[in-house]
Amino acid sequence: MPETLPPTQIRWNAIARGVFVYAIELVAILIAAVTAFLLRFDFSIPALYIPVLGTAILVWAPVKLASFKLLGLDRRWARYASMSDLMRVAASNLVGSFAGFLILFGFGRMVPRSIYAIDLLLCLMIMAGMRVTVRLLTDLAKPKPTTKESARKTIIYGAGDAGAALLRDIEQNHALPYSVVGFVDDSPRKHGLILQGVTVLGTGTELAWIARNQQVDMILIAVPSASGMQMRRVLEACATAGVPYKTIPGLAERMEGGGLAGQIRDVGVEDLLGRSPANLEHERISLTLSDQVVLVTGAAGSIGSEICRQVAKFKPKLIIGFDIAESPMFYLEQDLRRMFPGLAFRPEIGSIQNAERLHEAFAAFGPTVVYHAAAYKHVPLMEAHAFEAVENNVFGTLNVVQTARHFGVREFVMISSDKAVRPANIMGATKRIAELVVRSLQPAGSRYVSVRFGNVLGSNGSVVPVFKEQIARGGPVTVTHPAMSRYFMTIPEACQLVLQASTMGHGGEIFVLDMGEPVKIVDLARNLILLSGLRPDHDIRIEFTGARPGEKLTEELSVLEEGLLKTHHEKVRVFSGLAPEWAQMETSLQDLRNACRTRGLMELLDGMRNIVPEYEPSEKLAGRARKTGETPWSEAI
């Protein structure tokens, strides 16, 4: 371990360094001033101007030193001089020279005007030159990296700012196992250009030939702003080259600080979405969450756990994780304690179907903000368990909302789904009813809203884990229909926008997140096969199995009966419309409760259609209802 110096020694070292820096700067000021006078008078200063020179030095020295101090030049190490440092040197010299001009002019000292310009340029050149020289000597003095057998011959795909920054990081960190032999860029105009001593060898279409010619072992993709389509082309070029590849984070997940080389990772399916980063109103969100007690239902799930992580960044007083899943809750607690050591997190085991348990948790901790993410969401599974879906998604939500109202929760956000739009399945219909429950129970002076979005990559209900498992088994990858498409976004982006939406509106709104363009499921399957280093339809077969009961070929995020309005945030829209009267909702919900108690499937479907007229049950579910001996479905509607 390095030796720790006593505080007194540290102070003296700082003072000594400051004195040295000021001495160097003073010498530069003196040289510039004298040289400026010599140049102005052809190296023969008239006796008349000797006193003027003395006065100028007496003024310029303290004024310029004060200017350098004000702009922090004494705190910037010359060995790490950058363009921003040189800009600051220029600004501080300009400020110092102008202040010196005002003072000398006020004293009536007639310094020739050309001397001011010459002195400014000379002082700037001397101080910038010193920094560049120190930086150059420091770089030259660094030990040259020795070529290691383990170093991989590498091509950087992308000769832009990110590619140049990545190359710089790799060259400065000799421990990284990469030896960059060239760039590849899709812009033909960059072919043959040299960046930091490394040549752009060609375009992506030539990558396979370049990789063979250069005997490349690795491709590092540095195109963080690429769209989804551009990223897929890059991926196909890398797959054709048959060389392992990695990437740096996109703009939406770029870490603050640190070099890009330290963030190199495998290409993920989220890179193929090409989504722009979500611009959050951090101050507004902080006003909602900072020093508050926040309760998250379904906290152990993929969405709920990420909401906990995002909320933790805004320093709440306490986060209460409420979930019935014991083991995932245990791992969430461990994860949060590792990521946020100072966070107060309280795991609470319980079901949202148990109103008494919810009452206990709310009474014990008094949350002021609630994110309701607990739900059953697997479409085919809920088609087979309609009563359980209603009991959890509808009456569980009712329990949470009524408990929140009872304890005066001021901010309530329910996570909804695009499947709530013109629902064709039980899961979507229950989510639509849950939205109406939240709207009809909107308390005065509080903000109870729903946030609707589509599929989330990597969530427990996502198709991605299923595809990955099928690929790992050697296939086939099963897709229901060639035209099947869905909206996708990443878990962090979805949860960030949920936090953003929770600060908006007056209560009762249904917010809809911008999901971008829909993605064909078959294209998603092909991309996942490519990411696994395999070839679709060659190494892994894609098999179409037919649409399942309750599935749509495409999902919608709005309905014509609802008014879609823009908000001040580009990625959040809002639906306006009349909220149902609670008395009417209460009667309809009682019919659903009776149907669940008697296990009458036809009664259940009738009750759901009464609340959500646009709900169209699947033929398979309608057939099951007919077999129960109830009124035939065709007569019931």
Say which CATH number the domain at 359 has: 3.40.50.720
Helix 426-440, helix 395-406: angle, nearest 10: 20
Mean pLDDT score across all residues of the chain: 79
Residue 339 covered by a domain: yes
Shared-domain flag, residues 429 and 312:
yes
Mean predicted confidence (pLDDT) in 172-176:
72
- The contacts of residue 206 (CB under 8 Å, 6+ apart) are 184
Higher-confidence residue: 405 or 45? 405
Given 99, 122, 141, which residue is the final one in a domain?
141
- Looking at residue 632, its pLDDT comes to 39
**Quick check: is 600 in a domain?**
no
Q: Do 129 and 202 share a structural domain?
A: no
* Residues sharing a CB contact under 8 Å with residue 586, sequence separation 6 or more, in sequence order: none
Q: What is the largest CA-CA distance in the chain?
A: 120
348 - beta bridge partners?
Answer: 322
Question: Of the candidates 583, 602, 632, which is a domain's last residue?
Answer: 583
Q: Give pLDDT, residue 462.
A: 64
Q: Is residue 626 part of a domain?
A: no
Distances in Å between the Cα of 604 and the Cα atoms of 314, 375, 380, 422, 508 are 42, 19, 18, 18, 26
- Whether residue 580 contacts residue 434, with contact meaning beta carbons closer than 8 Å, is answered with no
Burial of 26 (0-12, 13-18, 19+ CB in 10 A): middle
In this predicted structure, what is the pLDDT of residue 552?
A: 64
Does the residue 637 lie in any domain?
no
Shared-domain flag, residues 168 and 200:
yes
Residues 352 and 462 occupy one common structural domain: yes
In this structure, are 289 and 414 located in the same domain?
yes
Domain co-membership, 118 together with 179: no
In this prediction, residue 53 carries a pLDDT of 82
Predicted local distance difference test score (pLDDT) of residue 565:
67
Distance CA 156, CA 163 (A): 7
Confidence band, pLDDT 50/70/90 cuts, at residue 354: very high
Q: Residue 542, SS3?
A: strand
Residue 512 or residue 554, greater confidence: 512
Same domain, 304 and 194: no
Q: Count Cβ neighbours within 10 Å for each residue of 530-549 and write b for 16 or more, e otherwise.
A: bbeeeebeeebebeeeeeeb
On whether the CB atoms of residues 431 and 417 are closer than 8 A, the answer is yes
pLDDT of residue 635: 40
Q: Which residues pair with 195 in a beta bridge?
A: 198
Angle at 454 between CA 449 and CA 460, to 5 degrees: 100
Domain assignment present for 76: yes
Same domain, yes or no, for 105 and 190?
no
Residue 472 pLDDT exceeds 90? no
pLDDT at 569 over 80: no
pLDDT tens digits for range 114-168: 888 888 888 888 887 877 777 677 666 655 554 545 678 888 888 888 888 888 8
**End residue of a domain, out of 104, 120, 141:** 141
What is the Cα–Cα distance from 251 to 111, expressed in whole angstroms?
53
Please tell me the predicted confidence (pLDDT) of residue 406: 94
Q: Do residues 209 and 231 share a domain?
A: yes
Greater pLDDT, 397 or 503: 397
The two three-digit tokens of residue 309, written as one number: 């992580």
Do residues 135 and 186 share a domain? no
- Comparison of pLDDT for 217 and 21, the residue scoring more: 217
Residue 3: the pLDDT is: 46
pLDDT tens by residue, 80-92:
556 667 777 788 8
pLDDT tens by residue, 551-566: 666 655 544 344 566 6
Q: What is the pLDDT of residue 584?
A: 87
Residue 159 sits in the same domain as residue 99: no
Count how many domains the chain has.
3
Statement: residue 2 has pLDDT above 50: no
Burial degree of 306 (CB within 10 A; 0-12, 13-18, 19+): buried
Cα distance between residue 204 and residue 198, in whole Å: 17
| Whole-number percent of the chain with pLDDT over 70 | 78
Residue 2 inside a domain? The answer is no
If asked whether residues 156 and 137 sit together in one domain, one would say: no
Which domain does 30 fall in, by range? 7-141
Q: Report the alpha-carbon angle 565-569-570, nearest 5.
A: 80
Query: Residue 573: in which H helix or E strand, if any?
Result: strand 572-576
Whole-number pLDDT of residue 328: 92
- Structure-model confidence comparison of residues 22 and 386, the more confident one: 386
User: pTM higher than 0.75, yes or no?
Assistant: no
Q: Quote the tokens at residue 443.
A: 């308390």
Domain for residue 68, yes or no?
Answer: yes
Q: What is d(CA 204, CA 241) in angstroms, rounded to the nearest whole number? A: 10
